[in-house]
């Protein structure tokens, strides 16, 4: 019968390459089990550990592997905390608004101003649009004598609808005409 440390080592060697993990670092008892840490030898994971969680619900039960985790130490290089998109967008808009306000106070440079700032259209702020006044359409529009005739002139007509049963029957009829392959047996 294997000890918990031997079981953890055997499990890691089954899951990982032998060069991915190193010596036993620590072993800590938890409720109904044991957490065993091994050093991680993979490139880019300096100060990280492989943790194997062994569970043993009763003293007479066989130990079983519950989890294998790759954990960072306190001094390890990790990704920055996640910031929701709405917060990042709000920060960006605030910075752009401050930048636009500071640009208003500056003197406009002379010369060609052909480039356009991304936020120059101020999409994050409501914009009023002046529309020309339009005359209402006349409800008494006379139809020409050729209106019906013109509507049916030329153009490609869409195919008529077919039902699934017609398509299946056509496919079955096509398959009857084909000769069976020489490799198939009946």
Give 35's Cβ-side CA count (13 Å radius).
9
Under CATH, which number does the domain 4-72 receive? Answer: 3.10.450
| Residue 74, pLDDT score | 86
Which percentage of the chain shows pLDDT scores above 70? 61
Determine the Cα angle at 65 with ends 63 and 67, to 5°: 145
pTM (2 decimals)? 0.45
What phi and psi values does residue 116 have, to the nearest 5 degrees?
-120, 130
| DSSP 3-state of 141 | coil
| Residue 132, pLDDT score | 72
- Cα 184 to its chain centre, rounded Å, is 46
CB 95 within 8 Å of CB 118: no
User: Across the chain, what does the average pLDDT equal?
Assistant: 78
Domain edges within the chain: 4-72
Over 60: is that where the pLDDT of 81 sits? yes
pLDDT tens figures, 16-25: 998 999 999 9
pLDDT tens figures, 110-169: 655 554 445 555 555 555 667 677 776 666 666 666 555 555 556 666 666 666 666 667
CB 72 within 8 Å of CB 47: yes
C-alpha to C-alpha distances, 63 to 30, 125, 156, nearest whole angstrom: 13, 63, 75
């Amino acid at each position: 019968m294997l000890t918990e440390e031997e079981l953890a080592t055997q499990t890691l060697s089954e899951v990982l390459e032998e060069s991915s993990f190193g010596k036993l670092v620590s072993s800590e008892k938890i409720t109904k089990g044991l957490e065993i840490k091994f050093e991680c030898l993979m490139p880019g994971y300096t100060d990280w550990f492989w943790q194997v969680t062994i569970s043993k619900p009763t003293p007479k039960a066989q130990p079983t592997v519950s989890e294998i985790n790759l954990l960072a130490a306190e001094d390890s290089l990790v990704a920055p905390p996640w910031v929701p998109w709405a917060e990042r967008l709000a920060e960006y808009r605030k910075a752009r608004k401050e930048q636009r306000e500071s640009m208003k106070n500056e003197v406009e440079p002379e010369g060609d101003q052909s480039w356009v700032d991304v936020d120059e259209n101020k999409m994050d702020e409501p914009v009023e649009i002046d529309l020309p006044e339009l005359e209402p359409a006349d409800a008494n529009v006379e139809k020409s004598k050729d209106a019906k005739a013109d509507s049916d002139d030329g153009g490609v007509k869409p195919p008529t609808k077919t039902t699934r049963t017609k398509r299946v029957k056509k496919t079955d009829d096509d398959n009857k005409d084909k000769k069976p392959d020489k490799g198939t047996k009946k």
